[in-house]
Amino acid sequence: MTVVNRKDVRSALAAYLQASVTKAQAVYPYQVADFNGASPVVYITSSGSARDKLTGLGLNSNFVLNIHIFVLYPKKPDQSYSEQTAENLLDDLEQEVATACLNIKNHSLIKAIMYDQPSNADGMAEIAGETYLHEIISVNVNCF
């Protein structure tokens, strides 16, 4: 029997979200230092692990992963892209992530994804000289 590696779960979740979160221009299974002008961007980081008792099916593993959403904040808001547009896009992305978590079925590695706690839309983040709205969604990912 093998034990699931958290990096494989991050990669699997990123691939799943890339297909499910249609408003994201890029989804990464790791923290990215420069988005090279892309927005919105999602990346996933590890936060912790819990390993239950060995069962007949294998070792039940639960991973806490943080899904980070970044939406470019306008330097000079105008009719086509305003502060409200950016905030609305952040909300749309959170809704797409929640829907993806709810709808995961028959995945070869991930059995379930649940919000671990309320998400945190913590305001602004600066990435490579650009300002982004930032939200962290902490999820518990169950794997066998």
- Name the DSSP letter for residue 5: -
pTM of the model: 0.93
Rounded Cα distance between 127 and 115, Å, is 26
- For the cut 70, the answer to whether the pLDDT of residue 1 exceeds it is no
How does residue 58 score in pLDDT terms, banded at 50, 70 and 90? low
Rounded Cα distance between 136 and 40, Å, is 14
- Determine the Cα angle at 46 with ends 114 and 18, to 5°: 65
Specify the higher pLDDT residue, 108 or 9: 9
Q: pLDDT per residue over 15-39, tens digit each?
A: 999 999 999 999 999 999 999 989 9
CATH number of 6-143: 3.30.2000.10
Rounded Cα distance between 108 and 1, Å, is 16
Return the residue matching tokens 């066998």.
144
How many residues are recorded in the chain?
144
- The whole-number pLDDT of residue 78 equals 83
Tokens of 12: 């699997």
